[in-house]
A and B are shown apart, each in its own frame.
Chain A
Amino acid sequence: MPQTITEKILAAHAGRDTVVPGELISVRIDMALANDITAPIAIDQFEKSHTESVFDPERIALVPDHFVPNKDVQSAIQVQAMRTFARKYHIRHFFELGEMGIEHALLPELGLTLPGDVVIGADSHTCTYGALGAFATGVGSTDVAAAMITGEIWFKVPESIKFTYHGKLGKWVTGKDLILYTIGDIGVDGATYRAMEFTGDVINDLSMAGRMTMANMAIEAGAKNGIICPDQVTLDYIKPRAQRPFECYVSDPDAVYAEARTYDVSGIEPQVAFPYLPDNTRGISTVGTVPIDQVVIGSCTNGRIEDLRLAASVLTGQTIHKHVRLIIIPATPNIYRQAMTEGLLEVFLAARGIVSPPTCGPCLGGYMGVLGPGERAVSTTNRNFVGRMGHPSSEVYLANPAVAAASAILGRIAGPEEV
């Protein structure tokens, strides 16, 4: 029976030859992760079960990235709970400050999430690992607690939607723009309960960073997972990093999809998602004059070295607008050092930006750049809900790093060609 990559991975982890959409199955997991917001609930639930050990201390990752460096006493207490739990159950992949990065940038970088894996995470952007050819999905803390005991989780096998991209990408058009355009097309619940499979010439030519940005935002269309079949680009990224064996699955040519959509990207320009939903997208040429107060470049969506290079290419030799604050957040310590080695940090500082240590911080209005009443930000993050980055009357405009950098220079939402 022909199958999609999602179906093949789920079948393999359920000990089956095939699965069909709609079936409820129990699958073995390769990695379960949680962060400083979601792990405390999972830990409470685990401890209440009086289980003596976790199913496999090598297959759990605890990443304190949301409010770390600790923003207040309460967030410090949450990380203490993770630290205590990690030591008690010998969980190796607990990341202390200095090793800690934004989870969905960090784990692939360290080769802890691999093609063919089933990855669950108590964080909705766990779908990022689909870019590696893994089945990866966000769940709640209780699901992670149960999985830490059993090493398994139940799923309804999702139907898949196939998104095919062909044509030639414009100079400033990135994976971020493709996924924003797609979400704008299908809506924030356009893929609910379904797998979004990205394919086509354009995806084949996309870097791993661009692919991760796309898979990362599948959740913003309600999807269960986003996924890209592994190819040479994937293997070039994975092989030097992989810490265990892995298997590459690809969709059969005659696999069955619930829906198929094809985009010619040649006409797509950089996208901006206006408040208050990620599907409220417009092309950069149609945004009008929108003055801004802050720019954030970072996050699990766009905090990778390629993103920082893109931003630096626009900011080189420039100074940002006097009414704008620019916050740059390399997603991991390695990315931070790489940016330093390449001279990108010098570009950001010379432009009057600041560079933060890795943290999710402002993306969810935690700290390190919370917006006040009525303030507007252009951000390379993933959500622009009411109050997402601060006060309920503040506004977040989602864009790629080049648009974010150009907007910082001009003090209004702008494309890099205007700089």
Chain B
Amino acid sequence: MKIEGKVWKFGNNIDTDVIIPAPYLVTTDMEELGRHCMEGADAAFAEKVGQGDMIVAGRNFGCGSSREHAPMAIRGAGISCVIAESFARIFFRNAFNMGLAILEAPGVVQGIHEGDLVSVNQDTGEIMDLTNGERFLANSLPPFMQELIQAGGLMSYVMQKRQG
């Protein structure tokens, strides 16, 4: 599947308290969480971001808490995909389980700029900056994680296995 979106850029070590501050963890409603997405870094982010936009960030994106509200808030804000140099471990897992598309791709922080239009091929991992023509390739996923995605997330995978 190929998606296109406008890029919002963030730096290294974007933590889960920045992605969704703890006072908002009293709800599990994705849209409500989305209204406070990235508030710790940019209080107006949720108002500025458009449906299908993308986040490009540096190293260790999503470090900190295990709160699944973090990928939920990003999805709730309308973000289609997060591309980073690297992800923190629990966030990486949660994003897959929640169905948020994430790609680990070296070089994106240097090569992609805020406001650029970027195209992502989720099947091949090809990332293209349509504004400046730069190309990147995301690290490939182990077969088991691809199975998880094909099943529609962890819960669907577990239920399919139990019924199968």
In the complex the two chains form, is A139's CB within 8 Å of B93's CB?
yes
Judged by a CB distance under 8 angstroms, whether A277 is at the interface is yes
Q: List the B side residues contacting A143 at CB < 8 Å.
A: 93-94, 97, 154
Ordered by A's residue number, 11 sampled pairs between the chains whose C-beta atoms are within 8 Å are: A66-B25, A74-B26, A140-B94, A143-B97, A189-B63, A189-B88, A222-B89, A364-B22, A385-B18, A387-B18, A388-B17
In the complex, A139→B95 CA distance in Å? 11
Query: Quick one: closest B residue to A152, CB to CB?
Result: B158
Judged by a CB distance under 8 angstroms, whether A303 is at the interface is no
Judged by a CB distance under 8 angstroms, whether B52 is at the interface is no
Interface residues of A in 96-148 (CB under 8 A from B): 121-124, 126, 138-143, 145-146
In the complex, A66→B67 CA distance in Å? 12
In the complex, A188→B89 CA distance in Å? 12
Residues of A within 8 A of B (CB): 24, 37-38, 40-41, 44-45, 48-49, 66-67, 72, 74-75, 77-78, 121-124, 126, 138-143, 145-146, 149-150, 154, 156, 188-189, 192-193, 219, 222, 224, 277, 364-366, 383, 385-388, 392
In the complex the two chains form, is B89's CB within 8 Å of A140's CB?
no
Q: Which one of A44, A142, A154 contacts B98 once the chains associate, using CB atoms below 8 Å? A: A142
Q: Which one of A67, A122, A150, A385 contacts B26 once the chains associate, using CB atoms below 8 Å? A: A67
What is the CB-to-nearest-CB distance from A336 to chain B, in angstroms, rounded to a whole number?
24
Q: Which one of A24, A37, A124 contacts B64 once the chains associate, using CB atoms below 8 Å? A: A124
In the complex, A231→B93 CA distance in Å? 33
Residues of B within 8 A of A (CB): 13, 15, 17-18, 21-23, 25-28, 40-41, 43, 59-60, 63-69, 72, 86, 88-90, 93-94, 97-98, 142, 144, 153-155, 158-159, 162
In the complex the two chains form, is A38's CB within 8 Å of B67's CB?
yes
Q: List the A side residues contacting B59 at CB < 8 Å.
A: 189
What is the CB-to-nearest-CB distance from A367 to chain B, in angstroms, rounded to a whole number?
9
Give how many A-B residue pairs fall within 8 Å (CB-CB).
Answer: 128
- Given A24-B142, A49-B158, A140-B94, A41 and B28 touching (CB < 8 A)? yes
In the complex the two chains form, is B68's CB within 8 Å of A142's CB?
yes
Q: List the A side residues contacting B43 at CB < 8 Å.
A: 392
Query: Quick one: closest A residue to B88, CB to CB?
Result: A222
In the complex, A302→B98 CA distance in Å? 32
In the complex, A386→B40 CA distance in Å? 7
In the complex, A67→B86 CA distance in Å? 31
Q: Which one of A44, A140, A366 contacts B93 once the chains associate, using CB atoms below 8 Å? A: A140
Q: List the B side residues contacting A138 at CB < 8 Å.
A: 66, 90
What is the CB-to-nearest-CB distance from B33 to chain A, in angstroms, rounded to a whole number?
11
In the complex, A45→B94 CA distance in Å? 13
Q: Which one of A49, A72, A74 contacts B155 once the chains associate, using CB atoms below 8 Å? A: A49
Q: Which one of B21, B69, B142 contacts A387 once the chains associate, using CB atoms below 8 Å? A: B21
What is the CB-to-nearest-CB distance from A405 to chain B, in angstroms, rounded to a whole number?
26
In the complex the two chains form, is A150's CB within 8 Å of B158's CB?
yes
Q: Which residue of B63, B89, B94 has the most chain A CB atoms within 10 A of its CB atom?
A: B89
What is the CB-to-nearest-CB distance from B34 to chain A, in angstroms, rounded to a whole number?
15
Q: Which residue of A44, A139, A142, A193 has the most chain B CB atoms within 10 A of its CB atom?
A: A142
What is the CB-to-nearest-CB distance from B147 to chain A, in angstroms, rounded to a whole number?
10
In the complex the two chains form, is A141's CB within 8 Å of B13's CB?
no
In the complex the two chains form, is B144's CB within 8 Å of A24's CB?
yes
In the complex the two chains form, is B144's CB within 8 Å of A38's CB?
no
